[in-house]
Structure 1
Amino acid sequence: MAKEKTSFIDRILGVAGKIQENPYIKAVSSGLASLMPIIIIGSLLVIVTTIAAGISNPGYQKFLVDSGIKPLLQYPNLVTNGVLSIYTAFAIAYNLAQSQEQDGYMAGLLSIMAFLVVQPFNISKSGSVSLPIELLGAEGIFTAIVVALIVPVIMRFFKKHNLYIKMPNGVPEMITRSFAALTTGGAVLLIFFGVKIIFSQTSVETLPSLIKLLIQTPLKALGSSWIALVVIMAVVGLLWFFGIHGHLVALSVMLPVYLQMDLENLNAYQAGKPLPNIIGYSFINVYGAGAVVLFGLVFWLWRAQSERYRILSRLSAIPMLMGIGEPLAFGVPFVLNFTLLIPSAFSASINIILAYLATAVNILPRFNGVNIAGMPVLVNGFLVGGWRVALFQVFLCALNVAIWAPFVKRLDRTEYAQELANAQATDTQTEG
């Protein structure tokens, strides 16, 4: 029975390890992570337009309108989150191409071109061309991901079969890269233009419509489920316990969905409309990661008898408050530490359940969609939902202290006893 159990765990870890090392999943995860500065800057500037007090303060809004600032303040979010799919297409293709030792820059450019080719441009009888801007924002993220994963594959095929123009030695590198991309770029354009023509003759009409029907809508339905999120966070914790990057494995598929849900809330918040989603990437960061999950661990390590744990707590406290848990994961460690299995694996899920229920009954507000990855605890809660969210984070930290208490105290007793034994052994050797 023990061998069967071990074998089952090994198989699960083997699958998780393959997912973690999969170049396509890593490209999506790394590409979206690289866009965080753009997402954060754009969403934070929305607050300037619609500060919590400003939405219900006619004087503040009147000043913005009368001064002519109000329309201008829409541009930062429009050119960041409003066209996020374009940045997504470049970033993911770039990361995938780089991992396959291809020209990441060209892969990114060709991915943008392919993404735009399949969009449903409207051409009027007068010849003017238009495209709904929302298709370039949250709505188009999944199309951008699919295109960005296909373009480097086409590039690799052409490179493998030497189907590109080679320039003689001495030609500047950028010229060489440009000519090498001519045949590939032409192929990418023709392939995706052909796809556009084919779909235009069907009831689906466009590739983005098909992706929305088959991928985006089902995943969004799953992403809006609190039960699914609780399970995902438990899997994240369990994978971290086994030393595997749980967020990369368990959240990689759902990350685009959660980011899209945040952007939907952000757009509604900017327009002064009801916020549509409870769950999002910010929801996970505020209630299911960082200090609200690890505060109890650091609290009890700080008060530990073990000198090693006291030193570790002081070194890891500030990173923990900023949402960085790796020093604790590998310093305590709670990786493969069965004494800490329960709190390390399930504390995030407990937080998510409590936060979702409190939001569903309107004790807590829905988030405004501002993405605050990397911001310290309480600050991130205040920015996305105001003082009630920050206060609830304090409650979760206190709850966290209670959850971790028996497990960390037991761990500390074992470590302290080992330190005393080592010290006694050292003294005996010194006297001898």
Structure 2
Amino acid sequence: MLTGLLAVEIYRFCKEKNLTVRLPEGVPDFVSKSFEFIPITMIIAAVFLGIRLASVAFFDVLPPLLISQLLSPLVGSMDNPWSVLFLNFCICVVFFFGIHSGVFSPITRPIYTIFIAENIAAHAAGQTMTHFYTPGALSAFFGFTGCGITMGLVVACIFSKSERYKKIGKISFFPSLFGINEPILFGAPIILNPIMFIPFVFTGTVVGTLPLFMIHWGWITPEFFTPPYVGVFLEGFLTNGDYMSIVANLIQLVLAILIYWPFFKIMERQELREEAERIARKESGNKKTIFSDDEAQLLDGMDLDF
């Protein structure tokens, strides 16, 4: 990430300062553009070579290892479940406002990639696995049915008295089994819905992080395999071969339903009132005045030209 940012900035600086080769106008574009990149490429290569030589000369390590050493306090902090709880809280809050959790990936991905590699090595050597913050565990537990454990709301919608919510619940059910919760996020909606802020953030943060605490406490085996996304329940089991993963998912599902239910009932009452008003307006618009034959003849004989 740092390499990409630095290379682009050096390229921009060279272009602004015209540190390129300018060929005559008669030279074809594809030829002149090829020559323009030669000095810029040499400058970028020289900068990175200088960084490498300086790092080896002064710190006796290559730049990637130096960066890893500088970031080691951050990496070590993610072995603390309370740090992960705070991070998951931040993810849920920004997700509620429509910002995808992928914005955290440049920070989190290198950390949990290191952790899963160390878990795999420990498992292969028959040693104790120590890390719980790993990609498969995050997907299977924090991402259970999607960020915010939104299956709780999907189930509430399926059993709703409102026709609208019942349809949304049915449409959202099968995608939620594979962690795709956009139908319920934008269909209910959850995103930017003040009523859903507390259940979405609280469920996603506390219920989503609970199994990670259980791994940290030794109640669930840590992950040593990151499976492809195969759906709820099975994914968690495949990460570690521990049936407690399925139990943890069941606990999450029950807690999510209990948390979402009272907040959903507030939305449902509002929706039922609106549905009743729409039906009443529709019925009143469909009413027609019916006259008897004598009344119709009388109206035909009257001059009603106003």
Q: TM-score range by the shorter chain?
A: 0.7 to 0.9
Deviation per residue, 1:306-358 (Å, 9 max, x gap): 11111111222222111122222211111222222221011122224421332
1:260 matched residue in structure 2: 114
**What is the distance in 1 between the residues matched to 2:32 and 2:234?**
49
Letter paired with 2:250: V
**What is the distance in 1 between the residues matched to 2:105 and 2:115?**
14
Identity of aligned pairs, percent?
A: 23
The offset of 1:214, in angstroms, is 1.8
Deviation per residue, 1:275-298 (Å, 9 max, x gap): 231112322211111417111111
**What is the distance in 2 between the residues matched to 1:371 and 1:178?**
44
Letter paired with 1:219: L
Matches for 1:267-278 after TM superposition, within 5 Å: 267-278=121-132
1:287 matched residue in structure 2: 141
Query: 1:181 and 1:267, CA in 2 relative to 1: closer, same or farther beyond 3 A?
Result: farther
Secondary structure of 2:161's aligned partner: coil
2:163 matched residue in structure 1: 307
Secondary structure of 1:427's aligned partner: helix
TM-score, normalised to structure 1's length?
0.60
Q: Is the 8 A contact 1:199 1:206 kept in 2?
A: yes
Q: Is the 8 A contact 1:283 1:367 kept in 2?
A: yes
Deviation per residue, 1:157-209 (Å, 9 max, x gap): 22333333467788695x66654432222112211111122222214543223
Deviation per residue, 1:384-409 (Å, 9 max, x gap): 12233133212311222222111112
Q: Does 1:238 align with 2:119?
A: no
Q: Does 1:196 align with 2:64?
A: no
**What is the distance in 1 between the residues matched to 2:87 and 2:144?**
16
**What is the distance in 2 between the residues matched to 1:257 and 1:306?**
45
**What is the distance in 2 between the residues matched to 1:350 and 1:169?**
67
Q: Is the 8 A contact 1:261 1:280 kept in 2?
A: yes
TM-score, normalised to structure 2's length?
0.82
Q: Is the 8 A contact 2:81 2:213 kept in 1?
A: no
Q: 1:213 aligns with which of 57, 69, 72?
A: 69
Q: Does 1:423 align with 2:279?
A: yes
Matches for 1:71-220 after TM superposition, within 5 Å: 145-165=1-21, 178-215=34-71, 217-220=72-75
Secondary structure of 2:202's aligned partner: helix
Q: 1:401 aligns with which of 254, 257, 260?
A: 257
Q: 2:235 aligns with which of 365, 376, 380?
A: 380
**What is the distance in 2 between the residues matched to 1:166 and 1:420?**
73
Secondary structure of 2:224's aligned partner: coil
Larger radius of gyration: 2
1:334 matched residue in structure 2: 190
Q: Is the 8 A contact 1:343 1:403 kept in 2?
A: yes
**What is the distance in 1 between the residues matched to 2:88 and 2:114?**
19
The offset of 1:365, in angstroms, is 0.5
The offset of 1:236, in angstroms, is 1.8
Q: Is the 8 A contact 1:259 1:281 kept in 2?
A: yes
Q: Does 1:357 align with 2:213?
A: yes
Letter paired with 2:136: S
Query: 1:353 and 1:315, CA in 2 relative to 1: closer, same or farther beyond 3 A?
Result: closer
The offset of 1:270, in angstroms, is 4.3
Query: 1:205 and 1:232, CA in 2 relative to 1: closer, same or farther beyond 3 A?
Result: closer
Query: 1:384 and 1:345, CA in 2 relative to 1: closer, same or farther beyond 3 A?
Result: same
The offset of 1:156, in angstroms, is 2.1
2:298 matched residue in structure 1: none
Query: 1:320 and 1:182, CA in 2 relative to 1: closer, same or farther beyond 3 A?
Result: same
Secondary structure of 1:236's aligned partner: helix
Deviation per residue, 1:14-36 (Å, 9 max, x gap): xxxxxxxxxxxxxxxxxxxxxxx
